[in-house]
Structure formats: structure tokens, C-alpha cells
Amino acid sequence: MDRISDLPDETVCQILSFLPTKEAALTSVFSKRWRNLFAKSPNLDLRFVKFDFWKPKSNMSFIDFVDRVLAVSSDSTIRRFSMKIRRIVEPAHINRWMLNVLSRGILDLDLDLDTLTKDVITMPLEIFTCKTIVKLKLGRVVKFAMVPENASLPSLKTLFLFRVRFPGCEFEALLSACPVLEELTLRGCPWVAKQCLTISCTTLERLTLSCKGSIAYGVPWSFSFDTPRLAYLNYRGYTGDEYPIVNLHSLVKAKLSLEFRGSPNAGNPMNLFKGLRNVEVLDLSSSETSRVLYSFAELIPLFKNLSRVSITTEFQHSCWSWKFLPLLLKKSPNLKTLVIKGPLHFYDVYGEESEPLLCECLSEYSFLSSCHVKILEIIDYCGTKGELEQMKHFLEKLPCLELVNVHASAKAKLTFGTDLQVLPRACNIQLKCFSCQN
């Protein structure tokens, strides 16, 4: 007899918990003893994308299978329940399964639902009073029709919502029911037009917010951040008309990808910019973000704590990044690391190098002489003549530079050794070349 067969049921169930439920179910053919063990696993991962592991002659459907799993394991605790659906399933079945799972001591609930029906899945009210759940992830055609007055999620620390519908003030009510929430992710949630999105949570430490979509519908026009303990912000979307409340006093790292909703200078991001003043690590992940910031240059605060900044250039229309870079460096007196992601030289709309050889906005480079940057990191270096000239000026003008890291393309890497010979180098500067990951 094999060693696994001698193991107690609890140990076998623990082993099976590391497998998707589809694969774990296949073990039922080993012996009668194993027939229902997979269903007693504390982790259930059910996927109805291509549900074909039963023999074609079997008439057992996905619905029957889930019902069987939950029935067999009715006396077991479920720590994690994950379900991904890409087939027609009536919302009534999903609600029935959720009621079962919520009563079983669930800690981690992950639902990615697209039932291919016109019906929107409304979560059962019991989900708002689950005392055990720690991590909740909801996606696709899910709607919060209402949040009851007695809503309480005392253990919830991580909340992930993808395309979840909030027709009114249900989102704010949901947040108020989460007294220990630490991480919040909102992606593609269709909001009511003209709605003010208010994120108010005194315990929140990490926030990822993506509010890009149809301008006519589904994008809030006003944002408030009342998050005094927030340390990490990833904000992608259109600039709001206003930011009535911005409490980001503890912010350490911010990643921004912003663009105008309509015409340039639309909106008033003054409070948002002021709220970023304590940030230590800033990532501007698009040249459009630099355009927004440059358009409101007079509102940019002094970043006294900023030690690392990443600015993104692009092969087309990267001039905004170069225009904003001098201002950003002047507003960052304690900056130590500068990361440039993208080409070092401006390219026109056809992807060809612009003339004159150097970008006009950087032609003097006088702003570099007062910069205290010690580490310069270049991502996606292509080795063009224009980039080589730009590199030369950075090395000549940055007085405190100690280290340069270059992530070069395969082609540029071949000629990088020759390029080094024409670049000015001091004894305290090290140039390294890394292959691009992409």
C-alpha cells in the first residue's frame, strides 16, 4: 500500500487544498475512501470556463457539481472559496452558494462572475454581516443594491472590487462597515455620472484606484480622500473637477497615471497636488501625467521628503515629460534617485528622432547643476545618437552622481561598450547594463 493511502483524512484534505478543485476531484477515482475527500478541502477553487473534466456521458452539470461539493463538505470549515464563471448560470444559484459559504467560517472569498445573462448579480445581504471574512474580491456583473444598516465586517482587511456597480451611496456605507480595512482596490467600477467618490477610512494603508472609462457615464467628477494612514496610492484616471478632501499625511509612495477629462486645464487638482507633498517615492507612469502636472505648475508643492522619482517618456509626444522634469527636480531638494522610463530623447509622431539633436526644453541643462541626484536609472535605452547625447549631458551636469544603471535593449547592449568610451566618467560613477525584461 502506498504511503499516501496511510495518511489520515485531515492530512489528505490538506494536501488536496493546494490543488484546484477540478484537479482535486480527479482523485475520487483512486478509491471509495477518496471519493469525497476533495470536497472537504478547506480551499475550494471552482471554475466554470470550460467545465469538461467529467466524462461526456455524464449528465452532471456545473451546478450539480457545486451543489455536491457543498453538500459533502457541509460539516467542514471553508477557509478560501474562489469561483470564476464564464457560462450561463442563473444568479439564484450563485446566491444560494454564497449563503452556504458565508455560514462556514469563510476567510477569503473570491468571485469573478460573468454569467452571460442580462441579470446583474446582487449579493445577498448576509455578505455584509459576515464576522469571519478577512479578504473579499468581487468582479464583473456584481451589484450592491443596498447595504443594510446593521452592516458589519469586523475582520475584513482586504477589499478588491472590479466592475462592481454602485448606483448610489452604497460604497460609502460599505466602507463604514469595515473598521479594520487595510487594503482597497477599485477598478473599472461604473459610478453614477456627476457622482463624488469619497474614500473615507481611517485604517486604510494601501489604495489602488482605476477610474477610467466612458466620460459620459461611469467616471466620478469629484474625488475625496480621507485616509490619514494611507502609505501607498496607485491612482489611474481622469482628473476630477475638484478634490474637496485630501488627507494623505502618511503617504510614502504614489503612482499616478492621470489625464484630462476633456480640454486641457479642465478640473482643479490643486488639493490633490498639495496632498502629495509628504510623498517619498513618486512614479509618474505616463507622459500624459506630466502634461497634467505641467499645466498646473503653479500648484506643485515642495516635495521635501521625495527621495526617488520615476518619470515616463514615450516614443510619441514625450515632450511633456521633458518640460515637467526641470520643475519637478527644482521642487525636490532631497531627491536621491531619478528613474527615466522610456527613450532619453524626444521622438516625433512618426517615431523618428526630432531635430535639433537635443530636446529644446533641455538644451541648457542648467537645472541639473543644482540637483542632488546620486543614482540615475535609465529604462529602455535604445542607443540612438540623440539618447547618447542626452546621456552625456546628464553625466556632465549632475554634480552628485555616483551610480548609473542602464536597462538597454538587446541591440543597444551590443554597442554599449563603445558608447561608454565617449561618455564622461568620474571615478565615483559606475555604469551597468541590464537586459530589458520586456
Task: Choose among 370, 435, 427, 382: nearest CA to 403.
Answer: 427
Q: What average pLDDT does the segment 391-417 reach?
A: 79
Residue 395 has pLDDT above 80, yes or no: yes
Binned at pLDDT 50, 70 and 90, residue 264 comes out as low
Residue 248: per-residue pLDDT: 96
Task: List, in sequence order, every residue forming a beta bridge with 83; answer none if it has no partner.
Answer: 46, 111
Q: What average pLDDT does the segment 178-207 reach?
A: 87
| Mean pLDDT for the chain overall | 79
Residue 214 has pLDDT above 90, yes or no: no
Q: Whole-angstrom Cα distance, residue 237 to residue 100? A: 37
> Residues of 383-422 as b/e, b for ≥16 C-beta within 10 angstroms?
beebbbbbbebbbebbeebeebbbbbeeebbeebeebeee
Binned at pLDDT 50, 70 and 90, residue 116 comes out as low
Residue 70: per-residue pLDDT: 86
**Under 8 Å between Cβ of 365 and 344:** no
Residue 34: per-residue pLDDT: 56
Q: Whole-angstrom Cα distance, residue 327 to residue 325? A: 5
Q: What is the dihedral of CA 239, 244, 250, 251, to 10 degrees?
A: 0
pLDDT tens for residues 23-43?
Answer: 555 555 455 555 555 556 778
Which region among 26-40, 73-87, 254-268, 309-323 has the lowest average model confidence (pLDDT)?
26-40
Residue 63 has pLDDT above 80, yes or no: yes
Q: Whole-angstrom Cα distance, residue 14 to residue 80? A: 13
User: CA–CA distance from 183 to each of 68, 257, 270, 404 (Å)?
Assistant: 34, 20, 26, 35
Which region among 166-175, 213-222, 234-243, 250-259 has the lowest average model confidence (pLDDT)?
213-222
Cβ neighbours of residue 149 closer than 8 Å, sequence gap 6 or more: none
Torsions phi, psi for 258 (to 5 deg) = -115, 155
Residues of the chain with CATH 1.20.1280: 1-55
Range with the largest mean pLDDT of 87-101, 339-353, 415-429: 87-101
Residue 118: per-residue pLDDT: 66
Please give the class, per CATH, of domain 1-55. mainly alpha
Q: Whole-angstrom Cα distance, residue 12 to residue 22? A: 16
Task: Choose among 155, 104, 93, 110: nearest CA to 128.
Answer: 155
- Greater pLDDT, 95 or 386: 95
